[in-house]
Amino acid sequence: MKKIAVLTSGGDAPGMNAAIRAVVRYGIYYDMEVYAVHRGYEGLIDNEFERMHRRSVADILHRGGTIIKTARSARFHDPENRKKAYKNLETLEIEGLIVIGGNGSLTGAKLLSEETGIPVMGIPGTIDNDLRYTDYTIGFDTAVNTVLDAITKIRDTSSSHERSTVIEVMGRHCGDIAVYSGFAGGAEIVLIPEKDISVDEVVDKVASGIESGKLHSIIIRAEGYPVSSNDLIKAIKDKTGQDVKLVVLSYLQRGGSPTLRDRVLATECGMLAVELLKDGVYNRAIGEVDGKIQDFDLGEALAAERPIRDELLQGIKVLSM
């Protein structure tokens, strides 16, 4: 394989730049021409390619975001636009496409490959950790550490003022950011889309905490939990009389310099994606399972199930006594 392209798609995630750097430099090492596609699938449709050189990826390893930009492309859902995207790849004689992104982005890569035959590779890049074939996605560790830092700071002030806080974190379909940060941050309760926890349970937990002498409670609510933060706060206030504040961490979670774990994961994924294309192994999704970087059939990877870690939820319940 002599010419490959790489794009980032969907929500950006810290570590995407580290993956781009690995792809570009490994590609060059194997005598390939490497192209970056700007703005994800949008740029693929609109022919926004850039030939990358060793120096194009200098000084980006430590930077959050993605230097080649990203987008959520509604247009890529249209088969006509996918044809257009393929034509652009064909014109440049690009033989393999590496897509760094989440579930929707890797699904787009699979479709493109099925319809056109272009070999693709998926690298899991999303803070949500919602690609279930891999234990971790690029950006998750950095995001969860950002949340942890926020919890630590909020703890100081909420115990001083004896009030509780609902901390809203990202995760529309996957509660991993909430679960891991709540577990490591000593939250009283974690609310996620995957688990049915009633508002009454939340209120009772805060009330029993107050009774047992707790100065404050930290409630982590993933954005996909069906009851809004404001409704939760109202219910807690009504029942306990305690003051409750809301902190929405929002896009703070998507920025920042990638952690060691994210840099290692991203770099190893980028290296393996290029190695596989070079060896003629196509349509794989790269990921980390049991501490090892591995590749999986793309279709099977997208259909994989990884249940939420119940033992962490149980730990939160018991340890917040």
Write out the catalytic residue numbers: 128
**Interaction of residue 171 with ligand F6P, rule CB under 6 A:** yes
Residues numbered 110 to 149 that lie near ligand F6P (CB under 6 A) are: 126-128
C-alpha–C-alpha distance, residues 223 and 168, integer Å: 6
Q: Give how many residues touch ligand F6P by CB under 6 A.
A: 12
Query: In this chain, which of 138, 166, 170, 232 binds ligand F6P, going by CB under 6 A?
Result: 170
Spatial contact of 38 and 48, defined as CB atoms under 8 Å apart? yes
Residue 236, both tokens: 């807690």
Residue 248 CB, shortest distance to ligand F6P, in Å, is 12
**Interaction of residue 182 with ligand F6P, rule CB under 6 A:** no
Q: Which stretch binds ligand F6P (CB under 6 A): 30-38, 170-178, 260-268, 278-286?
A: 170-178
Residues numbered 221 to 240 that lie near ligand F6P (CB under 6 A) are: 223
**Closer residue to ligand F6P, CB minimum distance, 53 or 172:** 172
**Closer residue to ligand F6P, CB minimum distance, 10 or 43:** 10
Query: In this chain, which of 53, 54, 153, 172 binds ligand F6P, going by CB under 6 A?
Result: 172
Q: How far is CA 105 from CA 98, 142, 188, 262, in A?
A: 11, 20, 35, 19
DSSP per-residue string spanning 184-247 = HHT-SEEE-TTS---HHHHHHHHHHHHHTT-S--EEEEETTSSS-HHHHHHHHHHHH---EEEE
Residue 193 CB, shortest distance to ligand F6P, in Å, is 11
C-alpha–C-alpha distance, residues 34 and 49, integer Å: 10
**Closer residue to ligand F6P, CB minimum distance, 223 or 288:** 223
**Interaction of residue 11 with ligand F6P, rule CB under 6 A:** yes
**Interaction of residue 69 with ligand F6P, rule CB under 6 A:** no
What secondary structure letter does DSSP report for 32? -
C-alpha–C-alpha distance, residues 289 and 60, integer Å: 26
Q: In a 10 Å sphere around its CB, with 0-12 CB exposed, 13-18 middle and 19+ buried, how is residue 308 labelled?
A: middle
Residue the block writes with tokens 């529309």: 172
**Closer residue to ligand F6P, CB minimum distance, 192 or 244:** 192
Residues numbered 261 to 320 that lie near ligand F6P (CB under 6 A) are: none
**Interaction of residue 72 with ligand F6P, rule CB under 6 A:** yes
* 3-class secondary structure, 58: coil
**Closer residue to ligand F6P, CB minimum distance, 10 or 27:** 10
Residue 288 CB, shortest distance to ligand F6P, in Å, is 19
Query: In this chain, which of 15, 102, 119, 122 binds ligand F6P, going by CB under 6 A?
Result: 102
**Interaction of residue 24 with ligand F6P, rule CB under 6 A:** no
Spatial contact of 137 and 102, defined as CB atoms under 8 Å apart? yes
Residue the block writes with tokens 């590779």: 121
**Interaction of residue 16 with ligand F6P, rule CB under 6 A:** no
C-alpha–C-alpha distance, residues 64 and 56, integer Å: 16
Query: In this chain, which of 25, 39, 205, 254 binds ligand F6P, going by CB under 6 A?
Result: 254
* 3-class secondary structure, 109: helix
The binding site for ligand F6P (CB under 6 A) comprises 10-11, 72, 102, 126-128, 170-172, 223, 254
